[in-house]
């Protein structure tokens, strides 16, 4: 019997030694089942000498029970897990668990039920919907959900067709191969500059070596079509490609473009997948193209930790997006981790963006990343004109939020049959509801946040913990009826104002509440592209990825909103968000216009947007960061302590503050109550650590926290390179 060291997938347990019976083969990276007391636990066989632990006498070792019949986790993935755990001060087991994100994939062969047309006439009345389904399905076969999407009918209609004998169930293997992508299915018409950039990226794929690229292209420049060429080359070479997208809502738009280019859809990975879909995707990724597995994977940030068999290229689209940063559990930034995975795998990585993060631009300036630029829109389309509307001078009417010039712009587009987009990064109807009689404000019972009114669902909701309650008929404080007042605008309130102004306009709300599934996102895109929508009103969800040729006006309802609060990246975030949403205008043959409503037209961010001076804004922001020792010239980290007992949380923060290290290259601010001092029933205190590049920040934090004992009710979280400061 041989000795092996397991990483047990439980953050509370350290590595454990086990025996390996004669004849049992479990190389490093094997997923195994092992005994732990009376229980059976899952673990990963780790490389010899890489995990700390005490040597246990050989005769005391318990044997591994079973080696799970799945491919081993590759060495580059194991190195990535180690690096991520070390850099983000996270438990190794918590990071490793993300690589085994589909428990079903670890089981044996499994089957599922799909459906197909029987060719029979069936019984019962042939309704219009059934006729439509029969016409569209043809030789298609799939799950009820898949066929419903193809036919454009509900699953209930299909179930009725099954009862009538029009479709029949078929048993298929869950792990059946995906349709292969054809790299030569459709040859795109690239501009000379696109072709030049694509050739450089294709050369990097052929070289099969680590090479980080910053693909810096203005909105509408065709970045996606450009990086599709190195994707095609990777497919030809039998290598796998990972494309990361920041939002599930962008997936449907991307799928249509991918399928048009390659003749088949990529493999999807995101939180909305059913367990059977996750199993099929995980096993296809682990099997690799040479075994009929996944060629191209498109997914959210968690797709970064999947066990790719032959990874050849990583693309991070909209790489500036803050949604690539995970704020719960392992607090990692998928943009940065993707670069490290490419390094460990020895493959190129492309960070694509029209408004790159300042850190990415800095890496390009010092030569770590190779910068490839697409400076003009594709097909001769021009960038939109930008106009500022000073709300101090152009005041909206009482109880209104749209100024006269923006209303005139909307009216002009309606008369021309063109589309408009209004952007306000605030979901719901109003951010605050209060009683005009006694002043009572509706707060979340578990968070120090106001409840947001959602009139579409007639609910008051907390956007931090998910608490919801119906809107009461009377004030719960004073009992007065008809006294509740909505304060401030959300997108639903803007939609009501637009309906009052233009009752015949076709309006669509685009938020995470209305486009919360891929199917709803696909329906919205189809309606917008089919010109069935006149005015889109949306949150940050509409700032990226969408291409609507008839959209010629973008109105930013409140450009100052993102500059409020204590966000240390507020300027950069506001510039990026507004520049991205402005880029939705004029992407077709017709020129576009952007109207930005603001009370601070002289603010550096707003002035840069008006003048189209991105480089000037970034230069000023870079200088300010350098002076403050902020990223990328210094390092930030946050420590968050929380407890259900406010006194316990305050006392623990004070003890940690008293034990702070006194170092010349590390500045520690706090403790202080977090801006969101109560979250999900837990009281929170924060430290902000600002360290010079010379400091070993992670070692300082680990030693500092380890030296202080905390009560069982106190949680301590570490956030390296934080993006949220609440």
Instruction: Please give the share of the chain, as a percent, with pLDDT higher than 70.
Output: 98
pLDDT above 90 for 151: no
Q: What are the pLDDT digits (tens) for 355-366?
A: 999 999 999 999
Q: What are the pLDDT digits (tens) for 103-116?
A: 777 876 677 788 88
pLDDT above 80 for 679: yes
| Alpha-carbon span 162 to 79, nearest angstrom | 50
**pLDDT-derived band at 581, boundaries 50, 70, 90:** very high
Q: What are the pLDDT digits (tens) for 303-323?
A: 999 999 999 999 999 999 999
**CA 365, chain centre distance (Å):** 27
Average pLDDT rounded to a whole number, residues 325-332:
92
pLDDT above 60 for 1: no
Q: Which of 361-365, 562-566, 641-645, 690-694 has the lowest mean pLDDT?
A: 562-566
| Alpha-carbon span 352 to 195, nearest angstrom | 16
Residue whose C-alpha is closest to residue 378's, from 577, 168, 589: 589
**pLDDT-derived band at 124, boundaries 50, 70, 90:** low
Residue whose C-alpha is closest to residue 443's, from 488, 482, 477, 489: 477
**pLDDT-derived band at 416, boundaries 50, 70, 90:** very high
Residues 52-60: contacts with CB under 8 Å, at least 24 apart: 52/14, 52/15, 53/5, 53/14, 53/15, 53/16, 53/17, 55/17, 56/17, 58/1, 58/3, 58/19
Domains and CATH numbers, the chain: 2-83 (3.40.1440.60), 111-173 (1.10.10), 192-378 (3.40.50.300), 381-426+489-622 (3.40.50.300), 634-720 (3.30.70.600)
What is the model's pLDDT at position 249? 67
pLDDT above 80 for 122: no
**pLDDT-derived band at 617, boundaries 50, 70, 90:** very high
**pLDDT-derived band at 123, boundaries 50, 70, 90:** low
What is the model's pLDDT at position 49? 86
pLDDT above 60 for 39: yes
Residue whose C-alpha is closest to residue 352's, from 198, 169, 207, 131: 198
Q: What are the pLDDT digits (tens) for 491-505?
A: 999 999 999 999 999
How far, in Å, are 105, 443, 495, 641 from residue 647 at the CA level?
Answer: 45, 21, 44, 12
Q: What angle do CA 488, 489, 494 make, to 5 degrees?
A: 155
Yes or no: say if 284 and 269 are a contact pair by the CB < 8 Å rule.
no
Instruction: Please give the share of the chain, as a percent, with pLDDT higher than 90.
Output: 70
**CA 432, chain centre distance (Å):** 27
Residue whose C-alpha is closest to residue 685's, from 693, 676, 694: 676
What is the model's pLDDT at position 105? 75
pLDDT above 60 for 608: yes
Yes or no: say if 418 and 552 are a contact pair by the CB < 8 Å rule.
yes
pTM here?
0.90
Average pLDDT rounded to a whole number, residues 450-476:
93
Average pLDDT rounded to a whole number, residues 17-22:
90
| Alpha-carbon span 102 to 281, nearest angstrom | 9
What is the model's pLDDT at position 335? 97
Average pLDDT rounded to a whole number, residues 395-405:
94
Q: What are the pLDDT digits (tens) for 267-316?
A: 999 887 888 888 899 999 999 998 889 999 999 999 999 999 999 999 99
Q: What are the pLDDT digits (tens) for 686-702?
A: 999 999 999 999 999 99
Residue whose C-alpha is closest to residue 724's, from 362, 333, 337: 333
The b/e string for 631-658 (b: 16+ C-beta within 10 A; e otherwise) is bbebbbbbbbbbbeeeebbbbbbeebbe
What is the model's pLDDT at position 284? 93
| Alpha-carbon span 659 to 442, nearest angstrom | 39
In a 10 Å sphere around its CB, with 0-12 CB exposed, 13-18 middle and 19+ buried, how is residue 385 labelled? middle
- What is the average pLDDT value for the chain, to the nearest integer? 92
């Amino acid at each position: 019997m041989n000795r092996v060291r397991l990483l047990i997938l439980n953050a509370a347990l350290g590595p454990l030694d086990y025996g390996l019976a004669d004849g049992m083969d479990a190389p490093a990276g094997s997923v195994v089942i092992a005994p732990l007391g009376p229980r059976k636990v899952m673990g990963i066989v780790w490389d010899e000498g890489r995990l700390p632990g005490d040597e246990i006498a050989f005769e005391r070792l318990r044997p591994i029970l079973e080696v799970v019949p799945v491919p081993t986790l590759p060495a580059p993935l194991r190195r990535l897990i180690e690096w991520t755990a070390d850099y983000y001060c996270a438990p190794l087991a918590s990071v490793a668990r993300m690589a085994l994100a589909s428990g079903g994939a670890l089981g044996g062969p499994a089957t599922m039920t799909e459906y197909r047309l029987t060719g029979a006439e069936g019984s019962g009345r042939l309704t219009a919907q059934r006729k439509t389904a029969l016409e569209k399905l043809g030789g298609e076969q799939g799950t009820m959900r898949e066929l419903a999407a193809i036919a454009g009918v509900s699953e209930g209609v299909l179930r009725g067709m099954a009862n009538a004998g029009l479709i029949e169930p078929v048993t298929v293997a869950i792990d059946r191969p995906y349709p292969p992508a054809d790299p030569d299915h459709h040859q795109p018409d690239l501009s000379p500059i696109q072709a030049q950039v694509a050739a450089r990226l294709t050369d990097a794929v052929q070289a099969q070596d680590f090479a980080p690229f910053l693909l810096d292209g203005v909105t509408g420049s065709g970045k996606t079509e450009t990086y599709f060429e190195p994707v095609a080359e990777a497919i030809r070479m039998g290598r796998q490609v990972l494309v990361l997208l920041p939002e599930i809502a962008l997936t449907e738009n991307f799928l249509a473009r991918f399928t048009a280019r390659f003749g088949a859809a990529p493999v999807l990975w995101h939180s909305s997948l059913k367990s059977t879909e996750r199993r099929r995707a995980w096993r296809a990724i682990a099997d690799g193209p040479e075994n009929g597995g996944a060629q191209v994977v498109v997914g959210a940030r968690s797709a970064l930790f999947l066990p790719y068999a032959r990874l050849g290229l990583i693309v991070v689209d909209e790489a500036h997006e803050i949604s690539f940063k995970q704020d719960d559990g392992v607090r990692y930034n998928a943009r940065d981790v993707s670069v490290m995975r490419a390094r460990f795998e020895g493959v190129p990585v492309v960070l694509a963006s029209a408004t790159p993060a300042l850190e990415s631009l800095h890496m390009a300036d010092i030569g770590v990343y190779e910068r490839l630029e697409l400076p003009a829109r594709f097909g001769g389309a021009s960038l939109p004109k930008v106009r500022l509307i000073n709300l101090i001078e152009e005041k909206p009417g009482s109880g209104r939020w749209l100024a006269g010039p923006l209303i005139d712009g909307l009216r002009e587009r309606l008369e021309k049959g063109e589309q408009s987009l209004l952007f306000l990064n605030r979901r719901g109807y109003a951010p605050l509801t209060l009683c005009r009689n006694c002043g009572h404000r509706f707060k979340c019972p578990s968070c120090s946040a106001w409840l947001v009114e959602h009139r579409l669902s007639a609910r008051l909701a907390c956007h931090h913990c998910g608490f919801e309650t119906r809107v009461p008929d009377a004030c719960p404080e004073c009992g007065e009826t008809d006294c509740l007042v909505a304060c401030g605008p959300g997108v639903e309130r803007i939609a009501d104002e637009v309906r009052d102004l233009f009752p015949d306009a076709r309006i669509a709300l685009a938020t995470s509440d209305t486009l919360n599934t891929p199917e709803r996102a696909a329906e919205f895109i189809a309606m917008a592209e089919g010109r069935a929508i006149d005015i889109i009103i949306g949150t940050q969800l509409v700032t990226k990825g969408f291409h609507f040729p008839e959209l010629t006006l973008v109105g930013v309802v409140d450009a100052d909103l993102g500059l409020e609060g204590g966000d240390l990246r507020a300027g950069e975030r506001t510039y990026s968000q507004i520049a991205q949403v402005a880029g939705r205008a004029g992407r077709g043959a017709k020129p576009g216009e952007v109207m930005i409503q603001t009370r601070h037209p002289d603010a550096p961010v707003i002035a840069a947007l008006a003048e189209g001076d991105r480089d000037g804004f970034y230069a000023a922001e870079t200088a300010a960061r350098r002076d403050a020792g902020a990223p990328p010239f210094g390092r930030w980290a946050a420590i968050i302590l929380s407890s259900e007992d406010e006194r316990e949380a305050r006392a623990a923060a004070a003890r940690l503050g008293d034990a702070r290290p006194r170092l010349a290259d590390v500045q520690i601010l706090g403790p202080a109550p977090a801006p969101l001092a109560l979250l999900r029933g837990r009281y929170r205190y924060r430290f902000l650590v600002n360290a010079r590049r010379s400091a070993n920040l992670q070692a300082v934090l680990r030693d500092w926290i380890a030296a202080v004992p905390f009560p069982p009710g106190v949680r301590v979280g570490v956030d390296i390179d934080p993006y949220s400061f609440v």
